[in-house]
Amino acid sequence: MSIVRLARPEIQSLHAYDAAEQVDDTIRLNANESPMAIAGDRFRRPLNRYPEVRPQSLRRALALRFGCSPDALLVTRGSSEAIDLLVRSFCRAGEDSVLTTSPSFSMYRHYAEIQGARIIEVVTRAEDDFAIDVDAMLAACEASTRLVFVCSPNNPTGTSLPRPQLEKLLQERGDRSAIVVDEAYVEFSGAPSVIELLDTYPNLLVLRTLSKALAFAGARCGAVVGPNSVITMLSAVQAPYALATPVVECVEDALQDEQIALAEAAVTHIIVERQRLIREISAFGFVKKIWPSDANFFLIEVEDAGEVLRCCQDQGILLRYFGGALASCIRVSVGSTDENDRLLHALGMLQGTGA
């Protein structure tokens, strides 16, 4: 049974915006566009014309990249828009719930709160390396739990959910919840994407992004992958002309073979640098623990997080602090070799002060 039935009834019956017809080699007097391109128009497609409602060539290129059928993919403005679309489509305000783990990507909670959906967070423990307890997640699910978000590798802990555990979650929830796996950092893990499970589990949805491994955070381009019935519904909810022409063209260029090869080399370099940073930072006396990571970042526990943050900021280096349950922890993103050397130098200066 399709998980579309879990969506809000008014969303299930929603019809997509009826945009003006677009046909090549025709005179377009049907979309209230300007007939004249501006002087600074330097793109392959003229900017005086609306882009495609849904960019089909980009959709095909991303489907090839992610290993799925084009009709199983919706191009989104980063994976954050996909999260928003899912929560708005599946959750009735004041009635339905969203389940995730904690700590994890804060946007799951953010969009649930905007929609008025209840958020259920299953806490993972530092002493267990923040491993996700699928049994605890299953026990925490309610009859109204429409979406279960699993960030794997998880932000900010860097931990991944083993494939057998994910399949247990998919099997146990069946058609009662959509299981959304956020794979923003999967390229850094060495593990294959769970997109290959889509034919087996009709309740699986996968989020992908070009912001991390493909180094295209500024383009704001990602995708949600899943059953065509769900993708069609989400497309009706998404704003028309969601991707601007310059974004579509620059992402198409980034998906060419030579650019993909450069991105893959960069991922390999970042993984090597990640291991170097973990090894060298673990030697500092004020560092209490560094958790293993499958992402392009890692989480460290220190004696005085405020002092570490201040010392690095004095050297022009910004790190990420979360507070709360992670009050003694800092997330370190892996930079270039030079940036990483500067971080090690700053931390070495702190070590020299006896911190």
198 located within any domain:
yes
**More confident: 355 or 153:** 153
46 located within any domain:
no
Using 50, 70 and 90 to split pLDDT, how confident is the model at 24? confident
36 located within any domain:
no
* pLDDT higher than 90, residue 351: no
35 located within any domain:
no
Question: For residue 148, which of 74, 72, 203, 82 has the smallest C-alpha distance?
Answer: 203
Q: Same domain, yes or no, for 80 and 126? A: yes
30 located within any domain:
no
Q: Same domain, yes or no, for 112 and 205? A: yes
> What mean pLDDT is reported for the chain?
95
Q: Give the pLDDT of residue 346.
A: 96
Using 50, 70 and 90 to split pLDDT, how confident is the model at 156? very high
Q: Give the pLDDT of residue 45.
A: 87
**More confident: 30 or 1:** 30
Q: Give the pLDDT of residue 168.
A: 98
Contact 222, 208 (CB under 8 A): yes
Tell which of 250, 280, 301 closes a domain. Answer: 250
330 located within any domain:
yes
Tell which of 228, 250, 272 closes a domain. Answer: 250
Q: Same domain, yes or no, for 245 and 143? A: yes
Alpha-carbon distance of 298 to 156, in angstroms, equals 7
Q: What CATH number is given to the structural domain containing 348?
A: 3.90.1150.10
Q: Same domain, yes or no, for 237 and 322? A: no
- Tokens 């915006």 label which residue? 17
Q: Same domain, yes or no, for 154 and 224? A: yes
Q: Same domain, yes or no, for 175 and 321? A: no
Amino acid at 315: Q
CA angle in degrees (0–180, nearest 5) for 80-209-230? 65
Q: Give the pLDDT of residue 23.
A: 87
130 located within any domain:
yes
Q: pTM score, two decimals?
A: 0.95
**How many domains does one find in the chain?**
2
Rg (CA), the chain: 22
Residue-wise pLDDT for 221-249, tens only, equals 999 999 999 999 999 999 999 999 999 99
Q: Same domain, yes or no, for 121 and 197? A: yes
Q: Same domain, yes or no, for 338 and 194? A: no
Q: Same domain, yes or no, for 161 and 100? A: yes
Q: Which domain holds residue 329?
A: 259-352
Non-local CB neighbours of 190 within 8 Å, separated by 6+ positions: 294
Q: Same domain, yes or no, for 217 and 330? A: no
Long-range contacts of 244-248 (CB under 8 A, 24+ apart): 244/51, 245/43, 245/45, 245/47, 245/51, 246/43, 246/47, 247/219, 247/220, 247/221, 248/45, 248/51, 248/52, 248/55, 248/57, 248/58
Structure tokens at 339: 């940036």
103 located within any domain:
yes
Non-local CB neighbours of 320 within 8 Å, separated by 6+ positions: 156, 330, 331, 332, 333
Question: Which of 29-38, 43-52, 271-280 shows the highest mean pLDDT?
Answer: 271-280
- Tokens 């501006």 label which residue? 38
* Percent of the chain clearing pLDDT 90 (strictly above): 88
Residue-wise pLDDT for 86-130, tens only, equals 999 999 999 999 999 999 999 999 999 999 999 999 999 999 999
Strands 145-151 and 178-182: parallel
Q: Same domain, yes or no, for 339 and 313? A: yes
Q: Give the pLDDT of residue 350.
A: 87
Alpha-carbon distance of 225 to 231, in angstroms, equals 7
**Which region among 29-33, 53-57, 81-85 has the lowest average model confidence (pLDDT)?**
29-33
Q: What CATH number is given to the structural domain containing 246?
A: 3.40.640.10
Tell which of 250, 273, 295 closes a domain. Answer: 250
* pLDDT higher than 80, residue 308: yes
* pLDDT higher than 60, residue 76: yes
* pLDDT higher than 60, residue 354: no
Q: Same domain, yes or no, for 264 and 246? A: no
